Chain A
């Protein structure tokens, strides 16, 4: 009888110790430089302390590049990240990361498109006009990379390296728009949301640029977590982000992010990205970034 009691007590202590080990002490969230990294970082300033307060653990933000996002996930230097549609599709395909939620923008959209644009004074209005010109892309993004390649392929350009005289690979959409606007490149591709945002404080964009094509809508930056991420925290994170509107602090976070709320997001909503990648000839499972 005493032995039974002893083993039961020991088992209870063992169970408690196991639960204690699984307690998480910190959460590192990666951010992508989809725009000016200083502004991007500023947008998420309130989110980290909010989550830390409600989860009871330290939450840290880490600015990443499109080039090292998959590596950081693999090396578990980050636990979660706001991923663009292409990086999201890549991470889902290669690492099995789990999409949880994505923001609804202030204009009630939760998707974006890819724009292909050119300077008006370049007189480029078709694919043929682009031949021998310079092209500015955004590295590893749906809007700034996958879509223009797919679109060009659809219009008969199989190899952009030979079709264009010069290529600029930018790390951010605003940089790409800036390159075209400042005449460094003739044609560019970038994310519609960034483009539209820049229009508001850069009147030159409307005056000097023309949009030549746009892609189907793909999910905007989605909050994804590592597949090894604790189910408990995963659900807590999901609930917190979905219910930000119901809390004054949460509403401040949404305002700073420039979003109305978050909606649940699943893997199936990445289908347009998978399709575009296929059309662009990109094998997501094997694709590797060249840049750091």
Chain B
């Protein structure tokens, strides 16, 4: 095509060139003639210049010799102008006849100048001078005549030449016009020819491009023609075929990816690795047709990897196993920088691991690593692809599968973790539920115990007073004594309830743990069956525990009694004590635990164990598995309450036929000095003014009567406000205030603060049925002088008043 284009444009150029050449030739001819014409016009100027200068010289010719001499330079200049004019004229004319004529004129001028010089230098006047003047004048006229003749002939020639020039110009116009028309026509023909030759293959290309755009990949153009277009269309056909092949390849890859996507879905719901391993057999065989496929996974301890290798031709889906060390796997992984191993020329060589699969003849191998955060977690292996070996696409497909398997394995781990956490959560929820239940029960029990204690306090007090009026030998005395004892038994019962509800007000002080355990053990050894043996493992030099000795012994007693009852056929009761530290990990496993140092008391039996169903209920008050009348159901509830009042916790571990272990954790406080024991006051000092603040009329009247019997002067207030009013009025008469806490209008705790303001040195003895919200502890901390638990023996309260007065 290029040849045709070059030839076509060359033809156009030749046509244009010939036309331009002819036009140029005519133009040059015409302009040359025009130059001649202009020259011919200039000859008139020459004549005028010559005439002017000759006339100037002529004006000197007939003057005196002196005048001539004086103006000799002017004459020379005029003559020089004549010469210059002729030189200019001569430069323009190149026709021989005109040049000859001009040379003739020049010669005439030379002669003229010579004669003129003679005239100028002729000193002698006379005929000779006049003759010379005539010669000069004649010569100048002759020159002018000659020039005029030339001018006339030039004018004639000018007319002819002008006419010829005009004719030639018109001819040039025609030639130029014809050239343009012919060149235009030639260009049209060439353009049509080239356009038809170019557009045909271009249209075919356009059509083919549209068909390919519409999806007809591989479309081939049928064209035979010019070389460049033939080559272009041939290349286009190759490109179209290549696109079709690429699309097929992409479709195949997409199909595999689609398969992979579908096949991967079950992986993501797999709950254990065995499902994944079994699934591998079908999955990989669908993606890559190979003789063997396998997956390498770490064992549970991560120190070994196991290759599960399947023979895809085998009917059963059993896999062979090869175990590799973790170091070997990591070594191979590092040697290959984590890149897949793709080897199509193995022939039993290059197997990267020490141990080879038995019975496998290697032709080619594809190994793709499973990696999480640069740590190898396994590998997928395909051996002996049937057609042509493995390629990069296989590597990428298996890589994607490996990633999916990795995710599935990770999901399994997460699922297992989640299950464990859910079990823990359920356990914690159950513990919280139990704690809330026990708290509610405690509140209920405390309320009942408070009212009971107030009733019992009045009842026991009056019985005690009645007993004083009777002889111990009297029948009434014995009956009163029985009533009093029944009252105290009822008081014990309410005390246990208060202990469970942690509303028993007891003084805690630093005590040694082990002596109290040994006391209880000695007591129990004497009372329980000989089939049961006691074993103590007590850690020596334990730190002091801030506690109450009675409560500590009650814990050990109740747990040991339960252990005894759990072993009707005998066994061993092991009691242990030691100091432990509870950390966050331990707290994570036991919701009630808090970090810190504890004294751990453990009581272990070898009984039947506690049924898991009833384990959550064992600390409920009045819950018992014992026969009716053998247990109150308050033993473990008391233990729970005591431990909670120490801000400790209990862990129970029990299994069927192996026994039960109760572990009690009591927190260690900082070192506390033993409370100073102050001496009691003597009987003579009981002449005191005592304000009894209690809303229970029965208790207040009983106490007032009793204290009056001991010589005291008593006042009574039913609530805090009344107490403040009486104290204000009898500030100097009142020495001791016996203050109840739970009262209407103004409670005891509020009233205490205001009493201190009224009389800072006032002695206050707190008497309360229970320690609601630790109010007893709070008021003692603020400076109250003593506490006595309701119901109390009237002798005990007198003793307490004496101690308070002594402080």
List residues of chain A with CB under 8 Å of any chain B CB.
Answer: 33, 36-38, 41, 62-65, 67-68, 139, 167-172, 174-175, 178-179, 184, 291-292
With the chains together, A139 CA to B122 CA distance in Å? 9
Task: Give the chain A neighbours of B120 by CB distance below 8 A.
Answer: 33, 37, 171
Residue of B72, B113, B114, B128 touching A168 (CB-CB under 8 A): B128
With the chains together, A167 CA to B124 CA distance in Å? 8
- CB within 8 Å for A67 and B124 given contacts A36-B114, A37-B76, A41-B76: no
7 additional contacts, CB 8 Å, given A37-B72, A62-B73, A67-B69?
A37-B76, A64-B72, A68-B70, A171-B121, A171-B123, A184-B128, A292-B66
Residue of A168, A175, A179, A291 touching B117 (CB-CB under 8 A): A175
Residue of B79, B113, B118, B121 touching A65 (CB-CB under 8 A): B121
CB distance from A101 to the nearest CB of B (A): 24
Q: Are B65 and A291 in contact (CB under 8 A)?
A: yes
The winner among B69, B80, B118, B121 for most chain A CB atoms within 10 A is: B121
- CB within 8 Å for A292 and B69 given contacts A67-B123, A139-B123, A168-B124: yes
Task: Give the chain B neighbours of A292 by CB distance below 8 A.
Answer: 65-66, 69-70
Task: Give the chain B neighbours of A169 by CB distance below 8 A.
Answer: 123-124
- What mask results when residues 82 to 114 of chain B are scored 1 for a CB within 8 Å of chain A, else 0? 000000000000000000000000000000011
Task: Give the chain A neighbours of B73 by CB distance below 8 A.
Answer: 62-63
Task: Give the chain B neighbours of A291 by CB distance below 8 A.
Answer: 65, 123
With the chains together, A33 CA to B65 CA distance in Å? 14
Q: Are A68 and B69 in contact (CB under 8 A)?
A: yes
With the chains together, A292 CA to B128 CA distance in Å? 18
Least CB separation from B131: chain A residue: A184
Least CB separation from A176: chain B residue: B121
Least CB separation from B83: chain A residue: A38
With the chains together, A38 CA to B111 CA distance in Å? 11
CB distance from A32 to the nearest CB of B (A): 10
> Would you mind naming 13 contact pairs between A and B with Cβ atoms under 8 Å apart?
A37-B117, A38-B113, A41-B76, A64-B69, A65-B121, A67-B123, A68-B70, A167-B124, A170-B118, A170-B124, A171-B122, A172-B118, A291-B123
Interface size in chain B (residues, C-beta < 8 A)? 20
Residue of A41, A62, A63, A175 touching B118 (CB-CB under 8 A): A175
Least CB separation from B75: chain A residue: A37
Task: Give the chain A neighbours of B72 by CB distance below 8 A.
Answer: 33, 37, 63-65
The prevalent SS among residues of B at the interface is helix
With the chains together, A22 CA to B124 CA distance in Å? 43
Least CB separation from A140: chain B residue: B123
With the chains together, A139 CA to B120 CA distance in Å? 13
Task: Give the chain B neighbours of A175 by CB distance below 8 A.
Answer: 117-118, 121-122
Task: Give the chain B neighbours of A65 by CB distance below 8 A.
Answer: 69, 72, 121
CB distance from A196 to the nearest CB of B (A): 18
CB distance from B131 to the nearest CB of A (A): 9
Task: Give the chain A neighbours of B80 by CB distance below 8 A.
Answer: 38
- What mask results when residues 637 to 669 of chain B are scored 1 for a CB within 8 Å of chain A, else 0? 000000000000000000000000000000000
**B105-164, CB < 8 A from A:** 113-114, 116-118, 120-124, 128
CB distance from A92 to the nearest CB of B (A): 23
Least CB separation from B72: chain A residue: A63
- What mask results when residues 55 to 84 of chain B are scored 1 for a CB within 8 Å of chain A, else 0? 000000000011001101100100110000
Q: Are B76 and A63 in contact (CB under 8 A)?
A: yes
CB distance from B412 to the nearest CB of A (A): 111
With the chains together, A175 CA to B129 CA distance in Å? 12
Q: Are A170 and B117 in contact (CB under 8 A)?
A: no
Task: Give the chain B neighbours of A167 by CB distance below 8 A.
Answer: 124
Task: Give the chain B neighbours of A67 by CB distance below 8 A.
Answer: 69, 123
Task: Give the chain A neighbours of B114 by CB distance below 8 A.
Answer: 36
Task: Give the chain A neighbours of B117 by CB distance below 8 A.
Answer: 33, 36-38, 172, 174-175
With the chains together, A168 CA to B79 CA distance in Å? 26
CB distance from B331 to the nearest CB of A (A): 98
With the chains together, A38 CA to B79 CA distance in Å? 8
Task: Give the chain B neighbours of A33 by CB distance below 8 A.
Answer: 72, 117, 120-121
CB distance from B130 to the nearest CB of A (A): 13
With the chains together, A174 CA to B65 CA distance in Å? 18
The winner among B70, B73, B124 for most chain A CB atoms within 10 A is: B124
Task: Give the chain A neighbours of B69 by CB distance below 8 A.
Answer: 64-65, 67-68, 292
Task: Give the chain B neighbours of A184 by CB distance below 8 A.
Answer: 128
Q: Are A170 and B79 in contact (CB under 8 A)?
A: no
Task: Give the chain B neighbours of A139 by CB distance below 8 A.
Answer: 123
CB distance from A62 to the nearest CB of B (A): 6
CB distance from B788 to the nearest CB of A (A): 130
Least CB separation from A63: chain B residue: B72
Least CB separation from B79: chain A residue: A38
CB distance from B67 to the nearest CB of A (A): 9
With the chains together, A68 CA to B123 CA distance in Å? 12
With the chains together, A87 CA to B120 CA distance in Å? 19
Task: Give the chain B neighbours of A172 by CB distance below 8 A.
Answer: 117-118, 121
Closest 10 CB pairs of A and B: A171-B121, A292-B66, A172-B121, A65-B69, A169-B123, A36-B117, A291-B123, A63-B72, A175-B118, A38-B113
With the chains together, A64 CA to B72 CA distance in Å? 8
Q: Are A178 and B76 in contact (CB under 8 A)?
A: no
Least CB separation from A40: chain B residue: B117
CB distance from A77 to the nearest CB of B (A): 11
Task: Give the chain B neighbours of A68 by CB distance below 8 A.
Answer: 69-70
With the chains together, A171 CA to B79 CA distance in Å? 19
Task: Give the chain B neighbours of A36 by CB distance below 8 A.
Answer: 113-114, 117
Q: Are A37 and B121 in contact (CB under 8 A)?
A: yes
Task: Give the chain A neighbours of B70 by CB distance below 8 A.
Answer: 68, 292
With the chains together, A122 CA to B69 CA distance in Å? 33
CB distance from A120 to the nearest CB of B (A): 22
With the chains together, A63 CA to B120 CA distance in Å? 11
